[in-house]
Chains A and B, each alone.
Chain A
């Protein structure tokens, strides 16, 4: 068996036997992502429907009977009160409304009421709009005009973006960021154990004393870390897809933007998944290369964790900002050459069905080059006694 393959199997065997790491890297994302996606959405929907079912009290002063009827139609209970503002403050009513000489003042505890206050505001707005429309219609008729004079044309919106972009949903921009983070968090424990962990345990010197080149040993370690990172990423993406499916299946309006819900569900087509796989592999190679370099340089496990945590911030923060900015900006071709951000923007562009050949070539080509550079640096460091015996 070639030395690199021998090391590769050993590292993977150690990884799969570490129950805590396996749970954190594989089981946890698969279970946690659906909970994160479905749980809050379900909670929001439930609270929202509870608030909708509740008849809320509105303290009213000076309102005409027609407006009182519209308030009742909107699911509100008007209560005559000479001081509507005081009624809200003192808790006698959920909202207050004063109608005085063509001016309506509405009193709400918006900062304290949260979702319930928002629902209440929506109902009052609806009642006032209906009352306003009725008044306008009457006045138009009195002037001999038809209501249609106010609506010279109707507006109909149709989403013509490709099904792939529509499927990404409102939170589709999260997918590239998630993918990147899954790769980093998946690779980190394996790289740490295979580099700084070997130093700390005192096994590195014995391993280096075998008749194999340091490059072969390093490639075996890097390969195992890449596989672990990709398994962890697949688990995380699987969790996202499972969460999306649960929302579509059981979430009702929650799943779909424009259906009254927050549009949390997304489904990724085969093309997006294929691009995600290639991008994930290349990014994993780059991340493993950088982490291996840091792990070899570190004197021990803790020092390596510090470097890698810092690396996480250095890499992820700009990438997250770039990912968010890409919704508003049209990134030029050179943006795809930025390490970490390039692959993220490519995935984002693919999700929006905007990626062209140049984007693929630049993002994948540059990531491959950075990965090769990082692994070459790590291999160089692994053969340097000043680095290996730094402690």
Chain B
């Protein structure tokens, strides 16, 4: 597998406090994997390690066939990243923000203009393109944030709590987009603590608890293994089992 994500024995500590204790998972092209866990479980650390934003202490990582520790810029060229924050450059318009990020991927002139027009059609950016971020609604901001991650047609999508600040309409649009991107053959890592979302978009899920991946499998396998009516109940039981075992 060269276009997806491969993680084996990933370890990371902050000042000797372990944040990831050797986690492993794979995501194939056209597959969505949901990394589930409460705040502080290690989800964001995992995504940062996949992008080479932080150094891993151990393990093997491949994103789109590349090691982010050795070729972080190569990984970032092939990866689209959405964080849970709503931060944008306040005094730039949506179009200027997209142009700013597009230029990092070699998009210039007519090609850049055409790509922004395509994203406008795909995401319904509309008036957000001509509005400065400081005057945008949260829905408009999120559309620009997500469209930014798609500018360079990435092979892999890393989404970190992408619906954290969304209203119901923007959230629905984002989930539909993730499903469409998965269908288009992209590998999607969807990090969230909103479990019903994961149940909807993910082919497989991973329960991350205190730096350990305590379960990986399909949502149905999770419900079956923990004899739970929903994924949320399954996660809670898995976390309780892990806590009891510790």
Q: Could you say which of A18, A206, A209, A389 has the most chain B C-beta atoms within 10 Å of its C-beta?
A: A209
**Inter-chain contact A209/B148, CB cutoff 8 Å:** no
Residue of B nearest to A203 (CB): B87
B86 to chain A: which residues have CB within 8 Å? 202
Q: Could you say which of B54, B85, B104, B108 has the most chain A C-beta atoms within 10 Å of its C-beta?
A: B104
B188 to chain A, nearest CB (A): 16
**Inter-chain contact B51/A203, CB cutoff 8 Å:** no
**Inter-chain contact A17/B74, CB cutoff 8 Å:** no
**Inter-chain contact B54/A385, CB cutoff 8 Å:** yes
Is A3 interfacial (CB-CB < 8 Å)? yes
B27-59 CB contacts (< 8 Å) to partner A: 48, 51, 53-55
**Inter-chain contact B53/A210, CB cutoff 8 Å:** no
A206 to B100, CA, bound (A): 12
Is B186 interfacial (CB-CB < 8 Å)? no
Partner of B100, one of A10, A208, A389: A10
Partner of B108, one of A1, A201, A206, A211: A1
A206 to chain B: which residues have CB within 8 Å? 81, 83, 87, 101, 145, 148
Is A356 interfacial (CB-CB < 8 Å)? no
Q: Encode A210-227 as 1/0 by CB contact (under 8 A) with B.
A: 111100000000000000
- In the complex, identify which listed stretch (B89-97, B116-124, B170-178) lies at the interface while the others stay far away: B89-97
Residue of B nearest to A201 (CB): B87
Q: Which A residues lie at the B interface, using CB under 8 A?
A: 1, 3, 6, 10, 13-14, 17-18, 201-203, 205-206, 208-213, 385, 389
CB<8 Å pairs between A and B, sample of 23: A3-B103, A6-B103, A6-B104, A14-B89, A14-B90, A14-B91, A14-B92, A17-B91, A17-B92, A17-B132, A202-B86, A203-B85, A203-B87, A205-B83, A206-B81, A210-B76, A210-B101, A210-B105, A211-B74, A211-B77, A211-B105, A213-B73, A385-B48
Q: Which B residues lie at the A interface, using CB under 8 A?
A: 48, 51, 53-55, 73-74, 76-77, 79, 81, 83, 85-92, 96, 100-101, 103-105, 108, 132, 145, 148
